[in-house]
Chain A
Amino acid sequence: MLISENKLKNQGLNGIPFSVHTGEIPSKGSWRTFKPVIDYKKCIKCLMCWLYCPDSAYSLNKEGFPVCDYRVCKGCIVCGNVCPVKCISKERDLHRGKEVK
């Protein structure tokens, strides 16, 4: 569509690129090649994975163990590297390119 410059309309606040958060988490899980898997028998609840995760994918369950949200995790495995007892292993993620739950 061709439009003359002086016919452009100033749409005020609508011209600001912003989006309101609905609380829904958009899935980024398909970016991943590897996913972290926690061995809860070895975990000492030091929360290093929770602290270092660049995407805030970790939250804590009722017992205080870290739980990874795979909708958010992009598979960088920083958590595995900082874990002092090496209880986080990486697993090949076969869901690449597809929606992950």
Chain B
Amino acid sequence: MTIEILDGNRAAAVAVKLARVKCVPCFPITPQTELIETIAQWKANNEIDVEFNQLESEHSVLSAALGSQMTGARTFTATSSQGLLYMHEVLPIVSGTRNPLVMVNVSRGLSAPVNLWPDHNDFLAMRDSGWIMFSCETNQEVLDSIIMAYKIAENEKVLLPVLINMDGFIHSYTRTQVEIPKQSLVDKFLPKLNLKVRLDVNKPKTLGTSAMEHYMFFRSQLHKAQIDSKNIIKKVQAEWFKLTKRKYDVVEKYKLNDAKAAIVMIGANTTIAKSAIDKLRKKGKKIGLLRIRLIRPFPEKEIQNALKNIKKIAILDQNISPGQSGILYTETKGILDKKIVSNYIIGLGGNLISEKDLIQVFLEVLKSTKEQRKWLL
């Protein structure tokens, strides 16, 4: 184990190297560029054994990644924002053919107007694609999540692609301390990929054939695999904890035990929210935080359990479904009965959020007597 000062992009590249990925088709897009540049540099210096291709568009990138993964080679790709939306057509094909591909999305606001800063609208727009989805808080979590994602995805009961989200700039270009596990440890944790159903010239087969009357059967299998994957995710996280002493769960509870009000959010801004909560706690205000790490399969029971004794809840969304509300709000509100659930839209397109702003929001939540929908402009 070594400790290095890495930004999110490099941490992800290190994870790709440790996972012994065989193929990386890619297309550069800010703020993901440094990730594939790092892999390209290693490839040029012969430091990594990988098939590296730059294609003409993101649509081609995911199609190529699908083809490579279908042959049984461990594949990785990364994209952001408009690139992810351009890939959208291929996303359900990857999950429908049950390919254990892993992709990183470096989230960035959607155009128009053109924006480069973090915003979760791109990532959360993919929630119906059948992929397992993780949202990260730190660069360390990005590295760990990628290695764990291959183990989860390649499990025979799962066989689903995984999409991992980190926030543009706040993760991707900000250097923090990252522990890099030893190659031998990762090799022990992540054995060689051996797909049973794969493309093979000696045994020709078609993957993703037409299924008119059986379509619903395959959809139900995809849904079931998603639901079953939650237990496997927990097992893999427990195994990773034994090896590295870094603990992850599908939701992260922060000072929730005696809290009167709770904040629910995802992404990098959680760190600011946590320090705001620490300051409020010193003044005797009982407030806690729930970070949803796993977006799909949605950890319904875990969220209900964590918030069962708390009446006042605020969902802080760094995204907006125009004409409705924040996406996490609609997802979470349906499973929370008899509670005051408010929605705050924050930080769209990287709009800066200070601790002061969040303290103001949190005090309002503690006092709230009815549901509110507000924007932090």
Contact = CB atoms under 8 A, between A and B. Distances in A.
B223 interface: yes
A13 B205 contact: no
A21 B206 CA distance: 7
> Among A9, A19, A20, which residue has the most Cβ atoms of chain B within 10 A?
A19
Contact of B157 (A8, A10, A16, A20): A10
Interface in A1-52: 5, 8-21
Contact of B224 (A9, A18, A20): A9
B222 A15 contact: yes
Contact of B209 (A5, A9, A11, A17): A17
B125 interface: no
A11 B221 contact: yes
Interface in B195-217: 196-197, 203-209, 211, 214
B228 interface: yes
Contacts of B156: 12-13
A27 to B, nearest CB: 16
B205 A15 contact: no
A20 B203 contact: yes
A16 B227 CA distance: 16
Given A10-B157, A10-B225, A10-B228, A16 B97 contact: yes
B98 interface: yes
B207 A17 contact: yes
A12 B203 contact: no
Contacts of B218: 15, 17
B96 interface: yes
Interface residues of A, number: 15
B196 A21 contact: no
Contacts of B203: 20
B208 A18 contact: yes
A12 B157 contact: yes
B236 to A, nearest CB: 17
A55 to B, nearest CB: 15
B197 A16 contact: yes
Nearest to B221: A15
A9 B363 CA distance: 47
Contacts of A9: 224
A59 to B, nearest CB: 17
B184 interface: no
Interface residues of B, number: 26
B305 interface: no
B206 A19 contact: yes
A20 B206 CA distance: 6
Contacts of A5: 223, 227
Contacts of B221: 8, 10-11, 14-15
B153 interface: no
Contact of A8 (B97, B197, B223): B223
A15 B206 contact: no
Contacts of B197: 13, 16, 18
B88 to A, nearest CB: 20
Given A10-B228, A13-B156, A20 B205 contact: yes
B156 to A, nearest CB: 6
B220 interface: yes
Given A9-B224, A13-B196, A13-B197, A18 B209 contact: yes
Given A21-B204, A21-B205, A21-B206, A16 B224 contact: no
Given A8-B220, A10-B157, A15 B98 contact: yes
Given A15-B98, A16-B159, A17-B96, A10 B224 contact: yes
Q: Sorted from nearest, which 3 A-B pairs have the closest CB atoms?
A: A15-B221, A21-B204, A8-B224
Interface of A: 5, 8-21
26 contacts: A5-B223, A8-B221, A8-B223, A8-B224, A10-B224, A11-B221, A12-B157, A13-B156, A13-B196, A13-B197, A14-B221, A15-B218, A15-B221, A15-B225, A16-B97, A16-B159, A16-B197, A16-B207, A17-B97, A17-B207, A17-B218, A18-B97, A18-B197, A18-B206, A20-B203, A20-B204
Interface of B: 96-98, 156-157, 159, 196-197, 203-209, 211, 214, 218, 220-225, 227-228
Given A15-B222, A17-B208, A19-B206, 13 more contacts: A8-B220, A8-B224, A9-B224, A10-B225, A11-B221, A12-B157, A13-B196, A13-B197, A15-B224, A16-B159, A16-B197, A17-B214, A18-B209
